[in-house]
Amino acid sequence: MGHVDAGKTKLLDCIRGTNVQEGEAGGITQQIGATYLPAENIRERTMELRADAQLNVPGVLVIDTPGHESFTNLRSRGSSLCDIAILVVDITHRLQPQTIESLNLLRMRNTEFIVALNKVDRISGWKKCKNAPFVKAIRQQTEDVKDLFNMKLAEIKTQFQDQGLNTELYYKNKEKGECLSIVPTSAISGEGIPDLLLFLVQWAQKTMVEKLTYVDKVQCTVLEVKVIEGHGTTIDVVLVNGELHEGDQIVVCGLQEPIVTTVRALLTSHPMKESRVKGTYLHHKKIKAAQSIKITAQGLEHAVAGTCLHVVGPDDDMDAIKNSVMED
């Protein structure tokens, strides 16, 4: 999350090795997107920082939200779906209105987050160290550049203090939990990307064991309703918990009335690819959380984005489910 143009999508492009941001209209994200980063890709990217790091998660599903002021609803939805958030701050612009809005959304939901202090390569005189861990990159800089970085960092820490938050560079932060961690990054030259990925995974593993433990009960949110050639009207969902199967009977909120239908196909983008971008789909007979999924089924034309999807079990009361989906 973060203010418009802080570099959220570009950071993901840097991680994925894609070019999604340049294809966006006006360079602005206008939808929620999702990308699955498998653990082996994270490992590859964090080798130089710590080759022996324990990664106990199968991967990470990353959700990208728009920063433009008109998309508060999408930021709110995005923040409600995540276990952990990355608040992206542009080091050249410091805290901006939607940085503060995002921060408040996260605090309201008690969602843990870290700060990516992005665009460090724009510090005057910065010497690029492609994809290097941040400490290694900062050591290569002249004293002037180091001073500039420290000055900007100090300003930003003061701004966070004004919002009631203590912050510290992540590798100096001894009281994680009390004090927000900052990971300096560049989405263009990749400095700090290993740090961001490793810190995210390790911190999640350490502090969120319970929240991250997978439970069977399906928890699934509709993000988009889209017509796709050859598939008719489809819904893009994020499955936060549980498992979906081809042939499952599902109920989603419709404009006028609940929609009861059967899952025809479960499609996902390829790992390391953005769900918003057209591409080929992988078909699944069943799929386990957390994943971003495109569901094809009949009768989805009037489905409402932002609402919950329910799976009908053998013992479920259909009327109760219908009522509950319409309450969204």
Query: 40-68 in b/e burial notation, b at 16+ Cβ within 10 A?
Result: ebbbebbeebeeebebebebbbbbbbbbb
- Choose which of 34, 129, 188, 253 interacts with ligand GTP (CB under 6 A): 188
Determine, following the binding rule CB under 5 A, whether residue 23 of this chain makes contact with Na ion.
no
* Residues 26-65 interacting with Na ion (rule: CB under 5 A): 27-28
- Of 42, 110, 101, which Cα lies nearest the Cα of 80? 110
Structure tokens at 39: 């653990």
Determine, following the binding rule CB under 6 A, whether residue 122 of this chain makes contact with ligand GTP.
yes
Residues 26-45, mask of contacts with Mg ion (x by CB under 5 A):
---x----------------
Residues 55-94, mask of contacts with Mg ion (x by CB under 5 A):
----------------------------------------
Between β-strands 259-262 and 282-284, what pairing exists: parallel, antiparallel or unpaired?
A: unpaired
Determine, following the binding rule CB under 6 A, whether residue 9 of this chain makes contact with ligand GTP.
yes
Determine, following the binding rule CB under 5 A, whether residue 269 of this chain makes contact with Mg ion.
no
- Choose which of 85, 187, 303, 325 interacts with ligand GTP (CB under 6 A): 187
**Burial status of residue 14 (CB atoms within 10 A of its CB: 0-12, 13-18, 19 or more):** buried
d(CA 70, CA 178): 32
The span of 8-16, 120-128, 152-160, 278-286 binding Mg ion (CB under 5 A) equals 8-16
Determine, following the binding rule CB under 5 A, whether residue 90 of this chain makes contact with Na ion.
no
- Choose which of 118, 167, 173, 269 interacts with ligand GTP (CB under 6 A): 118
Residue 121 binding target from Na ion, ligand GTP, Mg ion, none, CB below 5 to 8 Å by type: ligand GTP
Structure tokens at 101: 């809005």
Query: In the complex, what is the shortest distance from the CB of residue 35 to ligand GTP, in angstroms, rounded to a whole number?
Result: 13
Structure tokens at 268: 């996902």
Determine, following the binding rule CB under 5 A, whether residue 5 of this chain makes contact with Na ion.
yes
d(CA 188, CA 121): 8
For 253, how many CA atoms within 13 A lie in the half-sphere containing its CB? 18
The span of 184-192, 219-227, 251-259, 264-272 binding ligand GTP (CB under 6 A) equals 184-192
Phi, psi of 141 (to 5 degrees): -85, 155
Q: Judged by CB under 6 A, how many residues of this single chain contact ligand GTP?
A: 23
Phi, psi of 108 (to 5 degrees): -60, -35
The length of the chain in residues reads 328
Residue number with CB closer to Mg ion (8 or 119): 8
d(CA 32, CA 221): 12
Q: Report the interface residues with Na ion, using CB under 5 A.
A: 5, 27-28
